[in-house]
Amino acid sequence: MNKIIDNLKQKYPSETQFHQAVTDVLHSISSLLNEDRIYAENGILERLTEPDRIIQFRVTWMNEDGEIETNRGWRVQYNNAMGPYKGGLRFHPNVSLDTFKFLGFEQTFKNALTGLQMGGAKGGSDFSPKGRSDNDILRFCQAFMMELYKHIGPDTDIPAGDIGVGEREIGYLFGTYKKMTDRFDGALTGKNPAFGGSCMRKEATGYGCVFFLEQALKHANEDLKGQVCAISGAGNVALYTAKMLLQKGAKVISFSDSKGMIHIPDGISEERLEELIKIKEVERGNLSDLCEDFTDCDYFEDKKPWDLEYDIAIPCATQNEIDEKDANSIKKNNVKWVCEAANMPLTDKATNILRDAECTILPAKAVNAGGVAVSGLERTQNAQYLNWDSEKVCSQLKDIMSDIHALCAKNGKNNNSIDYINGSNIAGFKRVAKAMIAYGTL
């Protein structure tokens, strides 16, 4: 195992996020590898630590001022042992191939946990949508898809949204895909429900996160009602996690973005949350706009929520957002639950600090799988030319999250407690490895 990690570090020295994601999985499955030689005999680790395919391309487009801009685009088709490649697109200036390799690797196991036929992939661009006009977003999405359409399709690779890519961007991307291929099919998910999208897709990641958290608390004889939750981020995942938390009687006292944090000491009300959703989704405004003319919340520039007082930490922003210092704040506050709604939100040092403090970490692979699960259901609806109602989608989402919880609990059982990190990694790995072994050496 160490040889594999050393080898990766030597081959790809700058891909630190990818190393972190691989190390996390390999540590969890070490006893499995010792017990059963089948994985070594089939070279599973060597194969799983190389993506099936990396597509990298140039995206050149003309902005609305008539200037020519060039960005980089990627699609990492990581592993299709469990089904067609599936995973989101991220538009953010900080991304690199490392980001998409780590996300594609994580996605492979996450998708396996859902029990749906989906392999793992991830992609996107270093284009920054922030502060851009609608016109520029449209022009960029068209240029991006004019290259990507060659590599995707309902039975090969089905992208969706992620950071910087929501329903608007998926609309522009799907419109271009349709134009280039002359096909209306399920090659993209996250579409508007009025034209082929699944209802509840927008809510799915956040709602699924709360369904998983509820199961984990129940297993520990605790109740979500009355728990005080600190949320980071103020995007799709953060907003809909908060919405479901309020429905379950929990209290949400914070949101954040790359500029700062808002603190709502008495907890945000449903009405105020709807205002925030409108600010972020419709007006595309700033988080601080919520506090203008109101005394129920305070805005703090350059601050994260982790040193506030709360029971459950729910990071919903980005990878490695919780570092050593934040983990020490969480530990000092005696917080017993960290629910990872964002992908890999803890640095490995932060993870170690919180594990030592006996804080239960609910890992992203399991917690945020509801988004891709409903994307999987969107693909099914598209294949049948059907639209299911919210009740049907939500009930399937609940069942999937409950099955994922049971799977993690079974595979992560550790005396009287559950190691959810190990549980999710072992369960996901076993499913993917079993399929790879069955296919032979390809």
Question: Residues with catalytic annotation?
Answer: 122
Give the DSSP per-residue string, 242-302: HHHHHHTT-EE-EEE-SSEEEE-TT---HHHHHHHHIIIIIS---GGGGGTT-SS-EEEET
Minimum gap (Å) between residue 226 Cβ and ligand NDP: 26
How large is the angle between the packed helices 324-332 and 348-356, nearest 10 degrees?
Answer: 20
Range 155-184, binding ligand NDP (CB under 6 A):
161-164
361 has which bridge partners? 338
Cα 189 to Cα 377: distance, rounded to the nearest angstrom? 9
Torsion angles phi and psi, residue 89, rounded to 5: -115, 135
Q: Is the Cβ of residue 22 or residue 346 nearer to ligand NDP in the bound state? A: 346
Q: Is the Cβ of residue 39 or residue 351 nearer to ligand NDP in the bound state? A: 351
By the rule CB under 6 A, 233 interacts with ligand NDP: yes
By the rule CB under 6 A, 368 interacts with ligand NDP: yes
Range 380-409, binding ligand NDP (CB under 6 A):
none
Mark residues 315-354: x for contact with ligand NDP by CB under 6 A, - for none.
-xxx--x-------------------xxx-----------
60 has which bridge partners? 70
How far from the centroid of its chain's Cα atoms is residue 226's Cα?
26
Q: Is the Cβ of residue 136 or residue 433 nearer to ligand NDP in the bound state? A: 136
By the rule CB under 6 A, 235 interacts with ligand NDP: yes
Cβ–Cβ under 8 Å, residues 38 and 29: no
Size, binding site for ligand NDP by CB under 6 A = 23
By the rule CB under 6 A, 198 interacts with ligand NDP: no
Minimum gap (Å) between residue 441 Cβ and ligand NDP: 32
Cα 96 to Cα 99: distance, rounded to the nearest angstrom? 5
29 has which bridge partners? none
Minimum gap (Å) between residue 111 Cβ and ligand NDP: 11
Minimum gap (Å) between residue 316 Cβ and ligand NDP: 6
Minimum gap (Å) between residue 87 Cβ and ligand NDP: 9
Cβ–Cβ under 8 Å, residues 166 and 91: no
Residue 111: its H or E element: helix 97-114
Reduced to 3 states, what is the DSSP secondary structure of residue 391? helix
Q: Is the Cβ of residue 162 or residue 311 nearer to ligand NDP in the bound state? A: 162
Cβ–Cβ under 8 Å, residues 432 and 112: yes
Torsion over CA: 23, 25, 28, 33 (sign) = negative
Cβ–Cβ under 8 Å, residues 242 and 206: yes
Q: Is the Cβ of residue 159 or residue 267 nearer to ligand NDP in the bound state? A: 159
Q: Is the Cβ of residue 111 or residue 176 nearer to ligand NDP in the bound state? A: 111
Cα-Cα end-to-end distance for the chain = 22
Range 262-291, binding ligand NDP (CB under 6 A):
none
Q: What one-letter code names the amino acid at 254? A: S
Q: Is the Cβ of residue 164 or residue 171 nearer to ligand NDP in the bound state? A: 164
| Candidates 67-75, 192-200, 311-319, 412-420; binding stretch for ligand NDP (CB under 6 A) | 311-319
Q: 10 Å Cβ neighbour count for 349? A: 15
Give the residue, chosen from 51, 120, 305, 371, that forms a contact with ligand NDP under the rule CB under 6 A. 371
Minimum gap (Å) between residue 303 Cβ and ligand NDP: 11
Q: Is the Cβ of residue 106 or residue 185 nearer to ligand NDP in the bound state? A: 106
Cβ–Cβ under 8 Å, residues 164 and 136: no
By the rule CB under 6 A, 257 interacts with ligand NDP: yes
| Candidates 69-77, 251-259, 268-276, 398-406; binding stretch for ligand NDP (CB under 6 A) | 251-259
Minimum gap (Å) between residue 426 Cβ and ligand NDP: 21
By the rule CB under 6 A, 236 interacts with ligand NDP: yes
Cβ–Cβ under 8 Å, residues 200 and 374: yes
Q: Torsion angle of alpha carbons 86, 91, 94, 99, nearest 10°?
A: 0
Minimum gap (Å) between residue 408 Cβ and ligand NDP: 16
Cβ–Cβ under 8 Å, residues 299 and 286: no
Minimum gap (Å) between residue 272 Cβ and ligand NDP: 17
231 has which bridge partners? 314
| Candidates 4-12, 142-150, 255-263, 398-406; binding stretch for ligand NDP (CB under 6 A) | 255-263
| Candidates 217-225, 229-237, 411-419, 434-442; binding stretch for ligand NDP (CB under 6 A) | 229-237
Size of the chain in residues: 442
Reduced to 3 states, what is the DSSP secondary structure of residue 86? strand
Cβ–Cβ under 8 Å, residues 238 and 255: yes
What residue is closest to ligand NDP based on CB? 235
Site residues for ligand NDP per CB under 6 A? 161-164, 205, 233-238, 257-259, 316-318, 321, 341-343, 368, 371
